[in-house]
Structure 1
Amino acid sequence: MQTDNEKYNETVQPNTAFLNELKEKLPEFFTREGSFNLNKFRNQLKDKNINELSEGYQLDFIGKDYARRQAGEMPTTVIVPDEKQNQGEGKNSNNLFFTGDNLEVLRHLQNNYQNKIDVIYIDPPYNTGSDGFVYPDSFEYSDDQLKDMFELDDDQVERLKSIQGKSSHSAWLTFMYPRLALAKRLLSQKGLIFISIDDNESDNLHVLMNEIFGESNFLMQIAWRRTDNQPNLGELAKVKEYVLAFSVNPNDRELGRVPLSGKALNEYRYEDQNGRFRRGILLDKTRGRFNYPIETVSGNEVDGPWMVTEDQFKKLDEEGLIYWTNSGKELPYKKTYLKDNKGAIVNDFWGIEAGTNQRASSEFLNLMGKRYFDFPKPTNLIKQILHLSDSDALILDFFAGSSTTADAVMQLNAEDGGHRKFIMVQLPEKTYHTNKNGKEVPTNGGKIAYEDGFRSIDEISRERIRRAAKKIKKDNELTLPEDFDGSFKHYRFVKPVKQTLEDIEDFNPNNTDLFTNMVDGFSSESLKIDGDATGEETILTTWLAKDGYPFDADVEEVKFDNYTAHKVEDNRLYLVNEGLGASQTKELLNQLGTHQLEIQSVVIFGYSFNVAELRELENGLKQLDSKVTLIKRY
């Protein structure tokens, strides 16, 4: 038997994700059968005097339809809570760390984090040819299936499959497209997305982002100086990378400001009882436009030309904002206090004040003791980005790498008392491979990490967060906010093991007897991962995300005799385990009938119920006065 998501994925077309989004935003252009009424849409464009045949362009590449289809597929993984972490050091944390393929994670998050992320920052593979990027998808569909899905001939199928294991531009774009398309739907109405890139794919990325986000949502392409010194590598030296920035509503939100540079701070070198201030010129023979007499402290008279009107000058004087020099010729200046400065307006070039690769490497080395990553990003770069959003922003990084973003979020919260929260996503890329003899052999880039006990990149990422939090607490012992969040909850996104998939395929819902406990197949132990999660906890976590509940949703245990169910927000009741017999069903129906239990739906794990148990529950719910929906999931 197929799972519900597998059945859905068989019907997905390249434009499914787009049509679903369009249907949500513009339902009036869809027929009762769910088809898009193109003629009606064209007429609407004409009514608004928009020329639908106006000149335009778009980015085409091998694999584009496949990538679009991937953006519309449902996840085939389950979400396994790391109970050791979540009930231990991360119990009270609102930060999240997800281990798994970021495409699968983003698919899951469509349900419970759509329109909720304020800032996305990612540092994806640059596709330089030396950064290890190759297209990872092995095309799980047969040639005949690919032909049917995309109406391809034999040669076109071969061209599509040619990107497997390659680092071509098409391979990189096919990899990035579905991830960016899914990321867009997660951004809030004040959402911002920032992507680090270099010259190799910056042009392609810009056109791709224009297509997904819209040209009007482009903010800027920031040039960032990534090196402290000019490298001596011949006549041409590349010293910069880029951060491409897009906004959901660029015209409806005001960007935050970045901190003043050291040079700008030095301008505030004067001080009075109200604090530090800098002097602003009021008398200027070139730019001044107003002439009127002003009497100096000693009784002399200065006629101008002034930068402000006479009334404006008097107002500044009344407010104590005039500073008189007392050496040489007496001159008035305008006081601008540091406490009133909201920071600098962001520009599209960031120098070494935003950190460099060398400083990032030193930062990581001082924290972790070894260099496990070649090119980590500096926390100052991420902090500069985060200054452009709010102090309570929810930040997502789905190429977490060394967890620089998490470190930057915690540092900034410690500095300004903010309540930013992070969500990190990292693939559990191994630091070793297993040879023919079954022996573990470190990878070329993973040798040092492997020898230090790290079996995968995500382990390093999480350890960096722990050490960074410890350092922040030590460095800010006297000023750290009481509610500082220096931890995270951890979840793994994994595919069920082969045996569980075979059990699912062989399951017959019409059997009166259940021969296999399907729930146990989803425990940490059965899935061969750490974390101490039961199968019930995995299924429940996966379903809560599917039904739109955040990972900190309030889940309450409810007993029916000796059977334990789980209720969420007086809304849904989840029945996962086997064992709901006649007496337990009777107790459940009794609590519903007497309104001891108020819910709108009962969700059951279909594999845990035989046909007789299902029928008894279905019939009982139909007889209730209040309408309670039964949802069966497989």
Structure 2
Amino acid sequence: MQTDNEKYNGTVQPNTAFLNELKDKLPEFFTNDGSFDLDKFRNQLKNKNINELSEGYQLDFIGKDYARRQAGEMPSTVIVPDEKQNKGEGKNSKNLFFTGDNLEVLRHLEAGYLSKINTIFIDPPYNTGSNDFEYPDSFEYSDNEIKAMFGLEDEQVERLKSIQGSSSHSAWLTFMYPRLVIAKRVLSSKGTIFISIDDNEFSNLKNICDEIFGEANYVDTFIWESRTSISNDSPISLNHNYILVYAKDIQQLQWYGDPLSSKEYKNPDNDPRGPWKLTPLDANKAGGDTVFGITNPNTGKEYFPPHNRIWAFNRDGIKRLMDDGRIKFGMNNDSSPKRKLFLKERILKGDYKTPSSILRDVGTTKDGTNEIIKLFKSKCFSYPKPTSLLKKLIKYTSKDSEIVMDFFAGSATTADAVMQLNAEDSANRRFIMVQLPEKTYHRNKDGKEVPSQGSKVAYDAGFKSIDQISRERIRRAAKKIREDNELTLPENFDGSFKHYRVVKPIKQTLESIEDFDPNNTDLFTNMVDGFSSQSLEVAGDAAGEDTILTTWLAKDGYSFDTNVEEIKFGNYTAHQVENNRLYLINEGWGADQTRELLNQLGTHQLEVQSVVLFGYSFNVAELRELENGLKQLDSKVTLIKRY
């Protein structure tokens, strides 16, 4: 019998090593049979692809090039910390909640959380045609800019812009595509994404996930029994949803499955090794060529593997199992051979049971609704997922301190599930939730607030937006968990979160930025103030410096629990991060501060590799003095000017 390495070596081609390296870096360009999809790779290299507009709705959907471009764009927003929450109840929390457009949030998170998220669950809009989805992008580019970007004609520009406010398949795909591309980037190499969907977009979602994550990284699809009651308004009652499962890298997938059940293991022959069960001896033919007869010593009958199958062990392996009493020919010694598998062996190995693709007995949307009613005393959110479902999915991929993300947070069921699991198994999973501040009301022509369709209960309960429901759900759920687990709750239980709002700068600030001349010797406008929560017209008590620093830390790849130290230069406060970077944001820096900084750097009282400054707070003279001083240092310190 050949060793595994010998078998593998027999299949090696001249380009195998190159293809293996390519597959490791770009698994999405390989098909299920392991071959490289050259056409798909060639299409990604194209700068422009107008076939999507001439061919209509296929995988080359209207808006695909635009969606691809969005996946590569930098954020156009800033991150405003909620200082009241973050310095109050969330002070020591490592959980994060972002209010804002999830595409912008993902762009901000990409640098700091690249390949760090272990589990992603999302429940995006299903695009049922019942006003649950409209494409939100307003195409801020002019027609001429769009023409230049994508090489389009006037008629094609109009077709592209037709998806604005649309609920077409192309509009939905254009919306989902860039979000999934960035989601893949932040997933860890062993990570998993779960995506809940129904029939309306299932096939389209499967297609773009195959393209983005790679067909080979498709794990499977769970069919979740989301309701048990029968509906009589259609020929077949729709009682299920789908949950697509993709790995970042199927070869490194971290997957635990269901816990072992001792009920399956018995000990009818009083084997001293304890309870056991019978498992098949045969295996997939692709694994080798171990085909031979196994004789039942009690009956003399010879057995071979089933058609197109092999034995899972070679002759020596089968003999060892026979000698050890680990092979039985059925419970009555009258059927094909099977292996005795002992429960204690599987427990010692940390084995798990392979789950079924059918998810039953994990709660329904009715159970999710009942959880909302218990927490809020009202049905303030429609069709929430039950925590029992989310707990099951998270346990498949997470055991300890991994990060779980949901960027369509809704009622924050995922956060609730993470906290419940941590209370049960004393793990330290962390969550990142993202929710758009979708209003629960609109204003009529008289300017009066009127509850939106389906949101009256939430509005009457005092919630003006969905993200408010999400955050309050986390608070109330954490309180309930503490009450239910008073004696057993782990000391390090994290039942809170830090909160950030991701918003666009106001028009006045943008105009000031546009008019700013870095060569002016005087500064006429304090640009920092334009980024305070008050100027941005959001709650949170954040100063402009807080917003700019938070946004920059994310841009520079720091996580949101990074330690930031205040450094004083006279009456000027700077911020140092990990002995690596020094941030100068506010106005007020002058010659005295430059001399003090250079002195501390030259005498090694301060160790940094770069100084990052907010260019709008420095006139040209201050900049030149600082720049020239840093150049004269023996140790190289880079000056980074940002505008």
TM-score range, shorter chain: 0.7 to 0.9
Taking a change above 3 Å as real, the CA distance of residues 335 and 507 of structure 1, as seen in their structure-2 partners, is: closer
- Which position in structure 1 is the counterpart of 2:188? 188
Structure 2 counterpart SS, 1:388: helix
Deviation string 1:561-605 (CA, Å, 9 cap, x unpaired) is 111100000000000000011112111111111111111111000
2:369 paired with 1:361:
yes
Q: Deviations over 1:382-440 (max 9, x none)?
A: 11111121312211110000101101111111111211111000001111122333322
Matches within 5 A, 1:566-605: 566-605=575-614
Does the CA-based 8 Å contact 1:125-1:131 persist in structure 2?
no
Residue matched to 1:304 = none
The one-character-per-residue Cα deviations of 1:481-507 (angstroms, maximum 9, x if unpaired) are 111111111111011111111111111
- 2:246 equivalent in structure 1: 246
Aligned-partner Cα distance in 1 for 2:589–2:381: 51
1 CA distance for matches of 2:148 and 2:355? 49
Give the Å deviation of 1:233.
3.0
SS of residue in 1 equivalent to 2:397: coil
Q: Distance in 2 between matches of 1:67 and 1:626?
A: 44
Cα distance per residue 1:233-272 (max 9 Å; x no partner): 3421111110111111212335111246xxx56557999x
Counterpart secondary structure, 1:491: strand
1:436 aligns with 2:449: no
Superposed CA offset, 1:456-479 (max 9, x none): 100100010111111111111122
Check the 8 A contact 1:220/1:246 in 2, yes or no: yes
Give the whole-Å Cα distance in 1 for the aligned partners of 2:589 and 2:228.
66
2:536 is the alignment partner of 1:527: yes
Q: Sequence identity, in percent?
A: 62
Q: Which runs of 5+ in 1 are unaligned?
A: 1-24, 30-47, 272-276, 283-287, 294-307, 318-323, 325-332
Matches within 5 A, 1:207-356: 207-259=207-259, 280=277, 290-291=296-297, 336=343, 342-351=351-360, 353-356=361-364
Would the aligned equivalents of 2:191 and 2:254 in 1 still touch at CA under 8 Å? no
Q: Structure 1, residues 434-454: CA drift from partner, whole Å, max 9, x if none? A: 233332222122221112111
- TM-score normalised over the length of structure 1: 0.82
The answer on whether the counterparts of 2:230 and 2:237 sit within 8 Å (CA) in structure 1 is yes
Which residue is equivalent to 1:476? 485
Amino acid aligned to 1:210: D
* Aligned residue-pair number: 554
Deviation at 1:54, TM superposition (A): 10
Alpha-carbon distance between aligned partners in 2 of 1:252 and 1:174, rounded to the nearest angstrom:
30
In structure 2, how many angstroms separate the alpha carbons of the residues matched to 1:309 and 1:620? 77
* d(CA) in 1 for partners of 2:510, 2:258: 51
Q: Residue 627 in 1 paired to residue 636 in 2?
A: yes
> Structure 1 residues 619 and 180, CA, compared in 2 at 3 Å: closer, same or farther?
same
2:626 paired with 1:617: yes
Q: Give, in angstroms, the shift of residue 226 of structure 1.
A: 0.8
Q: Which amino acid aligns with 1:136?
A: P
Query: Is the alpha carbon distance of 1:103 and 1:312 closer, same or farther for their aligned partners in structure 2, counting shifts above 3 Å?
Result: same
> Which residue does 2:73 correspond to in 1?
73
**Kindly tell me: are residues 53 and 508 of structure 1, through their superposed partners in 2, closer, same or farther at Cα, counting changes over 3 Å?**
closer
CA deviations on 1:207-226 (whole Å, 9 max, x unpaired) are 10111111111110111111
Where does residue 168 of structure 1 map in the other structure?
168
* C-alpha contact (below 8 Å) 2:98/2:499 kept by paired residues: yes
- 1:296 aligned residue: none
Q: How does 1:495-574 map to 2 (within 5 A)?
A: 495-574=504-583
Q: Which position in structure 1 is the counterpart of 2:393?
A: 385
TM-score, normalised to structure 2's length? 0.80
SS in 2 for 1:112: coil
| 2-structure distance, mates of 1:268, 1:478 | 33
Deviation at 1:52, TM superposition (A): 4.1
Q: 1:487 aligns with which of 487, 493, 496?
A: 496
Which residue number in structure 2 is paired with residue 40 of structure 1? none
Deviations 1:309-354 (CA, angstroms, capped at 9, x unpaired): 998699689xxxxxx9xxxxxxxx9874696684421222111x22
Amino acid at match of 2:384: P
Deviation at residue 162 of structure 1 after TM alignment:
0.8
Q: Which amino acid aligns with 2:405?
A: L
Asked if structure 1 preserves the Cα contact closer than 8 Å seen for 2:191 and 2:253, the reply is no
Specify the SS of the correspondent of 1:567. Answer: strand
CA 205–51 in structure 1, closer or farther in 2 if over 3 Å, else same? closer
2:380 is matched by which residue type in structure 1?
Answer: Y
Q: Is the 8 A contact 2:614 2:641 kept in 1?
A: yes
User: 1: CA distance between counterparts of 2:224 and 2:218?
Assistant: 18
Cα gap change, 1:125/1:589 in structure 2, threshold over 3 Å: closer, same or farther?
Answer: same
| Contact 2:192-2:253 at 8 Å conserved across structures | no
Q: Could you tell me whether the CA contact under 8 Å between 2:381 and 2:458 is conserved in 1?
A: no
One-letter amino acid matched to 2:148:
D
1:73 Cα deviation from its structure 2 partner:
0.9
Look up the equivalent residue of 1:630 and give its one-letter code.
L
CA distance in 2, matches of 1:354, 1:360: 11
Any idea what SS the aligned residue of 1:354 has?
coil
Decide whether the 8 Å contact of 1:96 with 1:488 is kept in 2. Answer: yes
- Residue 105 of structure 2 aligns to a residue whose secondary structure is helix
What whole-Å deviation, never above 9, does each CA across 1:181-238 have from its counterpart, x for those lacking one? 1111111110111100111100011010111111111110111111123333342111
Query: What letter matches 2:439 in structure 1?
Result: K
Q: Match for residue 412 of structure 2? A: 403
Confirm or deny: 8 A CA contact 1:81 1:490 kept in the other structure. Answer: yes
Q: Alpha-carbon deviation of 1:535?
A: 0.6
**2:396 is paired with a residue of what secondary structure?**
coil
Q: 1:455 to 1:511 in 2, by over 3 A?
A: same
When residues 503 and 230 of structure 1 are mapped into structure 2, their CA distance, relative to the original with a 3 A threshold, is same
- Give the Cα–Cα distance (whole angstroms) in 1 for the partners of residues 462 and 69 of structure 2: 39
Report the alpha carbon displacement of residue 125 of structure 1 after superposing the two structures with TM.
0.4
Give the letter for the 1:357 counterpart.
T
Unpaired segments of 5 or more residues in structure 2?
1-20, 26-33, 44-57, 269-273, 280-293, 300-316, 332-339
Partners of 1:228 and 1:358 within 8 A in 2 = no
- What does residue 95 of structure 1 align with? 95
Q: Which residue of 2 aligns with 1:32?
A: none
Deviation, 1:364, is 1.6
The amino acid across from 1:214 in the alignment is G
Q: How far has the Cα of 1:524 moved from its partner? A: 1.0
CA distance 1:127–1:265, shift in 2 (3 Å): farther
CA RMSD of superposed structures (Å): 3.1
AA of the residue aligned to 1:187: L
Query: Which amino acid counterpart does residue 177 of structure 1 have in structure 2?
Result: Y
Partner of 1:126: 126
Indicate the SS of the match to 2:118.
strand
Amino acid at match of 1:362: N
Q: Is the 8 A contact 1:117 1:191 kept in 2?
A: yes
8 A contact 1:290–1:309 mirrored in 2: no
Distance in 1, Cα, partners of 2:417 & 2:151: 47
Point out the more displaced range, 477-486 or 570-579: 477-486
